[in-house]
Structure 1
């Protein structure tokens, strides 16, 4: 069996093994190699085909006896083939991947001023792709005349493409630029794929700017790499199938709704049906505080509870593929929305107010439920991607959510 994999320095949360498992029948592993060990690894017989990521896309070029036209032109390699004669062949399948990403996004760079954030190996490829599509491209780096301290001279930019790791897991929440500095911006492309929605993309969404994340690029370049590994052509129809499969497996399922609406029961049933880990936000808050939810409210008040809740949601929202049951009031803090939305599909559960229990729920006990529901109604609507009634059988609620995920 072919021995393939991903070469990089830090690879703990790569999606590549999952993607390649969907594309071909070969062994695909993660090879975390230090700079000091790179030479020995590349010259070894431990592998037949590799994808290459940060920080080695430029470093591996000198090891190749032959380069594809794209790799030669860009001097950046993200796919290596160990040929039978022992020599290495290098290709740049990122170019194909990014061009597919742009096409799939519907963003048209032709005749537009584009800023490429970052000057590493991926930047070279993205710049070339945007120029191929007819854009006028400027690269923004940490030094030189076009750096982040002089963005005002590029306030007329219409396309922003991020090739930096800023905002990538586990450093979620950061963005290389503030999109409000570019009032003419009409398209945002971020090659980061974890989280699914970086802070940059979340801001683009908030501002109503068309945008796309890096998963489609990752899948497309993996398809082209797989063809190189195996010598077998894979139809382009595989791209949407694989992207949909990866999304389905890795997107969090977030449950919100009034206290007592059945979030915990639905989460447990969903976890069993889908084979996913279930996380109860309130349980983690209690563990962190060392006391029950009612005790937190009684001793420290709601503000302390909400602060702890946001800390827990920030940690859990970074994760992938979990089912997260939240507290009924998490929607009262706007900062919780991006924490949940970055990697999740958010479902609001509704239930007849007469069926909502209040025992052990401090706010429900202290407030008229109808008034509480009326206050929170617009907040639930803002957070939710979908609303599901939980007035009937549990099995029906679970099936409705499963169908909505397809």
Structure 2
């Protein structure tokens, strides 16, 4: 029940009507007994600074930020966590007592959570990341902390791929794993994928809204996955459809697979910890709400 004392937490993005975050976060807030309400607020890039000022003025307790504002909003924060500063991207904001916003990024924590389930050890493994957009930044940062022996970043354009790798390498110790850029038409790619312990898809290929006439339903096309072996783990950030055609191909070959729903849940749980100051948040309630609303939009 919303009352005169109900506080606001919100998601900013454009569009946000499809988001599972309101169902997920409100289920958690109810379970925690917090008199807060989480709303999805559409916001254009031109209005972003004004909206942030207004939300601060009305006492908003915290914000999630999604596409296309994660990088732009980092420039509007008064303070950034070291991780958000390194990535140049913010997805979680908390009001500062002195005014303004603290920006953080919980996408990294959300991404690695399924990989670390049951104390899995990824040290020394070979990893391949498909794509070098905004989501890939959090993925690569998470992988760097898992200490693999090799991280190959696959992109379509060298002018995007090289700066991406340079940005993510900055500030890392000299002995840390080096990022290996590789164009998607490079003849080495087939071998890298066959040898990989983990392949992560950060591209939109395979998403429900991705029509067949826009290209292949599998990232990098069909043939490159024919020789995939069961030892490779596939992780797709997409969760609609569930599973994606790419993960279905992997499952048919005996691969262990992850989709992006658990990443969504875990990054949301990490954000809620930041806003509330409570370490134990009801992750199961968040997951159940996300699954229910994914099945029944």
TM-score > 0.5 by shorter chain: yes
SS at match of 2:238: coil
SS at match of 1:6: strand
Deviations 1:178-237 (A, max 9, x none): 4516635601111222222112211111221111011111111111111112222225xx
2:42 maps to 1:32: yes
Among candidates 14, 37, 48, match of residue 19 of structure 2: 14
Q: Is the 8 A contact 1:101 1:214 kept in 2?
A: no
Q: Which structure 1 segments of 5+ residues have no match?
A: 252-319, 323-406
CA drift at 1:239: 2.5
CA drift at 1:141: 2.0
2:219 maps to 1:180: no
Q: CA 1:142/1:41 → structure 2, altered by over 3 Å: closer, same or farther?
A: farther
Q: Is the 8 A contact 2:9 2:61 kept in 1?
A: yes
Aligned to 1:44: 54
2:76 maps to 1:63: yes
Deviations 1:40-59 (A, max 9, x none): 22232364311111222111
Among candidates 82, 100, 115, match of residue 95 of structure 2: 82
Structure in which a larger fraction of residues adopt helix: 1
Could you say which structure has the larger radius of gyration?
1
Aligned to 1:123: 136
Question: Higher relative contact order at CA 8 Å, sep ≥6: structure 1 or structure 2?
Answer: 2
May I ask how many residue pairs the two structures share in their alignment?
251
Q: Which structure 2 segments of 5+ residues have no match?
A: 1-5, 159-180
Q: Is the 8 A contact 2:23 2:289 kept in 1?
A: no
Deviations 1:377-406 (A, max 9, x none): xxxxxxxxxxxxxxxxxxxxxxxxxxxxxx
Q: Is the 8 A contact 1:223 1:234 kept in 2?
A: no
Aligned to 2:287: 243
In the aligned structure 1, how far is the partner of 2:145 from the partner of 2:226? Answer: 26
SS at match of 2:203: coil
TM-score relative to the length of structure 1: 0.56
SS at match of 1:224: helix
Aligned to 2:171: none
Structural RMSD (CA): 2.5
